[in-house]
Amino acid sequence: MNYLLFFLLVTVTICQDEYGCEDDCECSDILDFFWMDRESILYTEEAGCVRNITCVNTGQTFVQFFYNESEIARPVDSNKDYGHAMSLNPEALTSDINIFEFFGMVCENKEWYITKYPRGILYQIATGEEIVIGANGVFDGKKSKIHDYWWLIV
């Protein structure tokens, strides 16, 4: 084989596999969803749409989603059209978490979704009481479009 051609092929392959060569993620800047200070997040962009969004987990971080944009059915007693994917872990309140990994965030058709619910979802019923379901991971694999993404420090 012609050496130049060989060199080009190798370069193109490395380029596609490891570096992406340009930002080939078609989703918006995921940090736009955050209500928190960007300075308190350790953020890195990896190949494609993989991100590392690491911050201290106070248990107050959640992802809000609407049931009409989710594969999770609205609980019959929910009095709101949205729910929250929770992060609260009573045993590890101040450990660092990589939220991207924790909630299984993915980019599809230019939209960000979560696909993991390790602490279940929280919703409100008519009395104002808040209920958490699915903390055993039963919702894992279901897609929900990310709507708002909050971080409230208590």
Ligand X SMILES: *[C@@H]1O[C@H](CO)[C@@H](O)[C@H](O)[C@H]1NC(C)=O
- The reply on whether position 69 binds ligand X by CB under 6 A is yes
Give the range of 4-12, 16-24, 64-72, 111-119 binding ligand X by CB under 6 A: 64-72
From the list 8, 10, 21, 42, which residue makes contact with ligand X (rule: CB under 6 A)?
42
- The reply on whether position 111 binds ligand X by CB under 6 A is no
Q: Could you tell me which residues come within 8 angstroms of residue 1 by beta carbon, excluding any fewer than 6 positions away?
A: none
Tokens matching residue 75: 């609980």
- The reply on whether position 66 binds ligand X by CB under 6 A is yes
From the list 26, 81, 129, 140, which residue makes contact with ligand X (rule: CB under 6 A)?
81
- The reply on whether position 68 binds ligand X by CB under 6 A is yes
Q: How many residues bind ligand X (CB under 6 A)?
A: 8
As measured in angstroms, the least distance from the Cβ of 8 to ligand X is: 31
- The reply on whether position 95 binds ligand X by CB under 6 A is no
Is the Cβ–Cβ distance between 63 and 84 less than 8 Å?
yes
Secondary structure in 3-state letters for 33-76: HECCCHHHCEEEECCCCCEEEEEECCCCEEEEEEHHHECCCCCC
Other CB atoms within 10 A of residue 8 CB:
11
- The reply on whether position 47 binds ligand X by CB under 6 A is no
Q: Under the rule (CB under 6 A), what is the footprint of ligand X? A: 42, 52, 54, 66, 68-69, 81, 98
